[in-house]
Structure 1
Amino acid sequence: METLYAAPTVNPVLECALKDDLQALKMLFEDAPEPGKGRATDLLLKKDLMGRNVLFPACILGRCEIVKELIKYGANLNSRTSRGYSLLHCAAAWGQLDMLKTLIELDANVKACNFCNEKAYEIAVRYNKTECADFLAWAEAKLELKMYISFVQQSFTDLEKTQGKLNKEYKHQTMAACKSKNDWLEHTKNPTTHDFVEQKLQLEAIMQTILSKLNTTPDSGKSTSKS
């Protein structure tokens, strides 16, 4: 795993991250002549020889509020090192659970892989960061359910575009199933990894039945030609 080393030159943005000085960090960017311009922004985007910017030490040290502020000022949430390590990889390796939660809340890509095709979950397991591994498994299971719901909705939209008006019953069942899962996502308190997996399996079973009927039903939207 890549390790942190001292910067060869003074970087005020990095110093704020290392010292967890949020107010000083805000002042650096507020003093910029224009939003997104100035020395602070340049330093924010500057990378070392390994391709790491200031977000990486901030994540390793668990500076959650600093990271939120840096993202607000234009830092890339899905930054990668030259070997493909993401912010999630680094936070996982150092056991920074709160940082992982912050990054996921900010919509970091939990499925991002490094040069060995390892996700942050595998890194957490390798370094025996059990709580981090459990959380990352939970986050990925939640993402998988959300992605599958979106996939189903888009698939039926595409089918209707290519095949014309679909059977109303199947369309209603599909939309109802997706709405039910979205409602579950929104209102269920403290769902577990297993809960997300089960919800996805249930939706997959519903869709398998509907798609099977759709593919064998004459009025599924396909036109027939007269001989």
Structure 2
Amino acid sequence: MEPEGPSESESSEKSIFFSQQEEEEEEEEEEEEGKEPEETGTVNPLLQPALTGDVEGLQKIFEDPENPHHEQAMQLLLEEDIVGRNLLYAACMAGQSDVIRALAKYGVNLNEKTTRGYTLLHCAAAWGRLETLKALVELDVDIEALNFREERARDVAARYSQTECVEFLDWADARLALKKYIAKVSTAVTDTEKGPGKLFKEDKNTILTACRIKNEWLETHLEASINELSEQKQQLEDIVTPIFTKMATPCQVKSAKSVA
């Protein structure tokens, strides 16, 4: 069943926050999909500004000591529903990217998982919130995190036919692959214990220079395509692989004749 985002026809803001999209994913054949959990207590005072994009209102609660909810702000933000979702998930469902960015400044864990292993990125992907996905990736969340189905956010987006989200996460994955390869290579040549063997100074400089150039390329090509990212990674591999292969190859034992 394709998930539906918050709409104006919702009976209340709280029904959005406590939607059962995640339960629908768990058991698609359940007869009571979409049933809300039993409500207890009052509505979280952070909920309305989080859903409406009222960043200023949220900041006032967190930063104004005179605000009646100031001392409980973080507790209210991290308050969870029955499946382990806090207010950040409500913001994701509503597509409030600016709210996510604002709340991230207060030190919340953007990689926190629900009881079924879903992250904010999984949530935004399932609901088709492309701009929210972009905000989360900019905030350096873990795009490789797995839910209880061993799915990444990209897989969840594909399952719900969120095409634009799939395409963006494929791009993010290609960018991450290049960044990780640069970091891996840099570590290998600067850490002798992790390197494949003895490295000549000239070869070390060649690799480090190549890594620096690729990092600079990443910083200046923020809109690079998947193909361009893959090409850059391949170019670095073409430089690094022969050097590492040479390092890992044991020196041949001289023959008795040559020794004589």
Q: TM-score range by the shorter chain?
A: 0.7 to 0.9
CA spacing shift, 1:194–1:121, aligned 2, 3 Å: same
TM-score by length of 2: 0.76
Higher helix content, 1 or 2: 1
Amino acid at match of 1:184: W
- The one-character-per-residue Cα deviations of 1:134-170 (angstroms, maximum 9, x if unpaired) are 0001011101110110000101112278899731121
Query: Which among 219, 224, 229 is matched to residue 186 of structure 1?
Result: 219
Cα distance in 2 between the residues matched to 1:17 and 1:213: 56
- Structure 1 unpaired stretches of 5+: 219-227
Matched, 1:159 2:172: no
Task: Assess if the C-alpha contact under 8 Å between 2:88 and 2:120 holds in 1.
Answer: yes
The root-mean-square deviation of aligned C-alpha atoms, in Å, is: 2.5
Cα distance in 1 between the residues matched to 2:173 and 2:112: 19
Larger radius of gyration: 2
Cα distance in 1 between the residues matched to 2:55 and 2:219: 32
Cα distance in 1 between the residues matched to 2:215 and 2:123: 31
Report the CA distance between 1:18 and its aligned residue: 2.1
Query: Which among 222, 230, 241 is matched to residue 197 of structure 1?
Result: 230
Query: Which among 47, 56, 59 is matched to residue 14 of structure 1?
Result: 47
Cα distance in 2 between the residues matched to 1:179 and 1:39: 45
Amino acid at match of 2:98: E
Paired residue for 1:215? Answer: 248
Task: Assess if the C-alpha contact under 8 Å between 1:170 and 1:214 holds in 2.
Answer: no
Cα distance in 2 between the residues matched to 1:149 and 1:142: 11
Paired residue for 1:79? Answer: 112
Paired residue for 2:208? Answer: 175
Paired residue for 1:48? Answer: 81
Paired residue for 2:16? Answer: none
Paired residue for 1:136? Answer: 169
Cα distance in 2 between the residues matched to 1:193 and 1:75: 31
TM-score by length of 1: 0.86
When structure 1 is superposed on structure 2, of 91-100 and 11-20 the one drifting more is 11-20
Paired residue for 2:22? Answer: 2
Matched, 1:60 2:93: yes
Task: Assess if the C-alpha contact under 8 Å between 1:97 and 1:132 holds in 2.
Answer: yes
Matched, 1:30 2:63: yes
Task: Assess if the C-alpha contact under 8 Å between 2:44 and 2:76 holds in 1.
Answer: yes
- Structure 2 unpaired stretches of 5+: 1-20, 24-33, 252-260
SS of the counterpart of 2:192?
Answer: helix
Task: Assess if the C-alpha contact under 8 Å between 1:32 and 1:39 holds in 2.
Answer: no
Amino acid at match of 1:81: T
Identity within the alignment, %: 47
Report the CA distance between 1:172 and its aligned residue: 1.4
Amino acid at match of 2:161: N
When structure 1 is superposed on structure 2, of 64-73 and 142-151 the one drifting more is 64-73
